[in-house]
């Protein structure tokens, strides 16, 4: 199974500042035949189901503010929130969908400092 | 509007069985892979299983393989998860989800509690 490891587990960022979450996979999730990284990011707020933010490692889902961006390739990926807003307080998860089981990272809790 | 509505959760004794259902609406159900993902309250997401749009292929997490069976009825736009030999560690909120690759849409979840 592909193991997904996020860092940090938790971070506190001031309003308007940048938040950066890292995700590392135990093997590459880049599919060479189509040059796509099979990596998604989700946001989960308390009491709600997760919501898709980013897919193919860097494509924003419909309706997601452009302060959210994804980058990386192969085994190392980053979710960046460029200017943290109060409504961004949530747990963020990466997930690989390259190979079943489609494993998730352990989650990163983002809070306001 | 896309909707995924789970049902069938509840309290069951260890060793017991439960069948979850996920009723879909607002999209062409037969065009999508469907997934089950679970989450122990306060903990992280765990992918459980997926089924091909025509039901011809399935995959499972090792932790449920041989005990859980995923299925679907495209005529009823409904997916199922038959859970047998339930253990305390299967206690979680179970989410139904839609996605041919990444998960695009999630249900609200149904809580399964395995306890004597």
Nearest by CB: B44 against A51, A61, A93? A93
Q: Give the pLDDT score at B61.
A: 98
Chosen from B94, B103, B104, B107 to mutate, greatest number of chain A CBs within 10 A: B103
Question: What pLDDT, on the 0 to 100 scale, is given for residue A82?
Answer: 96
CA distance B89 to B85: 11
Question: Does the CB of A51 have a partner CB in chain B at under 8 Å?
Answer: yes
Note whether B102 contacts A44, CB cutoff 8 Å.
no
What is the model's pLDDT at position B107? 98
Average pLDDT, chain B: 98
Per-residue pLDDT, averaged over B74-103, amounts to 98
Rounded CA-CA distance B67/A106 in Å is: 24
Q: What is the pLDDT of residue B86?
A: 98
| pLDDT score for B11 | 98
Q: How many CA atoms lie within 13 A of A86 on its CB side?
A: 0
Nearest residue in chain B measured CA to CA from A3: B46
Show residues of chain B in contact with A56, CB under 8 Å. Answer: 102
Interval A5-54: pLDDT, tens: 999 999 999 999 999 999 999 999 999 999 999 999 999 999 999 999 99
At residue A17, the pLDDT reads 98
**Do A101 and B35 count as a contact with CB atoms less than 8 A apart?**
no
Chain B touched by A106 (CB under 8 Å): yes
Residue for token digits 């449920």? B64
Please give the helix or strand (H or E) that residue A19 lies within, else none: strand A19-25
| Interface mutation target, options A47, A59, A97, A99, chain B, most CBs of B under 10 Å | A97
Q: How many CB atoms lie within 10 A of CB A60?
A: 16
What pLDDT sits at residue B116? 96
Q: What is the pLDDT of residues A72-107, one digit of tens each?
A: 999 999 999 999 999 999 999 999 999 999 999 999
Cβ neighbours of A34 in B, within 8 Å: none
Distance (Å) of CA A7 to CA A4, A58, B6, B94 = 10, 18, 32, 26
- Checking DSSP bridges between strand B110-114 and strand B10-12, what pairing results, if any? parallel
Task: Give whole-number Cα distances, A87 to A44, A83, A95, in Å.
Answer: 11, 11, 22
Shortest CA distance from A52: residue in chain B = B104
pLDDT at res. A81: 98
User: Which pLDDT score, from 0 to 100, does residue B92 have?
Assistant: 98
Running DSSP on this structure, what letter comes out for residue A81? Answer: E
B43-86 pLDDT per residue, tens: 999 999 999 999 999 999 999 999 999 999 999 999 999 999 99
Q: What is the pLDDT of residue B60?
A: 98
Mean predicted lDDT score pLDDT of chain A: 98
In angstroms, the CA A94 to CA B49 distance is 17
Minimum CA–CA partner of A9 in chain B? B44
- Residue B82: how many CA atoms within 13 Å on its side-chain side? 6
Q: What six digits make up the tokens of A73?
A: 């390739």
Among A56, A100, A107, the residue with its CB nearest the CB of B44 is A107
The widest CA-to-CA distance across chain B, in whole angstroms, is: 40
d(CA B99, CA A53): 14
Q: Please state, in angstroms and as integers, the Cα–Cα distance from residue A16 to each residue in A83, A84, A86, following that order.
A: 4, 5, 9
Q: Which residues of A touch B109 (CB under 8 A)?
A: 49
Provide the 3-class DSSP secondary structure of residue A91. Answer: strand
**Is there a contact between A56 and B50 if contact means CB atoms under 8 Å apart?**
no
């Amino acid at each position: 199974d592909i193991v997904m490891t996020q860092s940090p587990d938790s971070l506190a960022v001031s309003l308007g500042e940048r938040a950066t979450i890292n995700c590392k996979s135990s093997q590459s999730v880049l599919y060479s035949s189509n040059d796509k990284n099979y990596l998604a990011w989700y946001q989960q707020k308390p009491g709600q189901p997760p919501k898709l933010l980013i897919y193919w490692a860097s494509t924003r889902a419909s309706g997601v503010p452009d302060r959210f961006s994804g980058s990386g390739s192969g085994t190392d990926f980053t979710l960046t929130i460029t200017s943290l807003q109060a409504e961004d307080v949530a747990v963020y998860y990466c997930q690989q969908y390259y190979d079943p089981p489609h494993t998730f990272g352990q989650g990163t809790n983002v809070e306001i400092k | 509007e896309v909707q995924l509505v789970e049902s069938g959760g509840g309290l069951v004794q260890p060793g017991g069985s439960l069948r979850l259902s996920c009723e879909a609406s607002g999209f062409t159900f037969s065009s999508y892979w469907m997934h089950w993902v679970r989450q122990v309250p306060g903990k992280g997401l765990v992918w459980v299983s997926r089924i091909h749009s025509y039901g011809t292929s399935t995959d499972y997490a090792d932790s449920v393989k041989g005990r859980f069976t995923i299925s679907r009825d495209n005529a009823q736009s409904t997916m199922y998860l038959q859970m047998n030999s339930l253990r305390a560690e299967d206690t979680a909120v179970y989410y139904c989800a839609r996605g041919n690759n990444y998960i695009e849409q999630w249900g609200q979840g149904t809580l399964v509690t395995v306890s004597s």
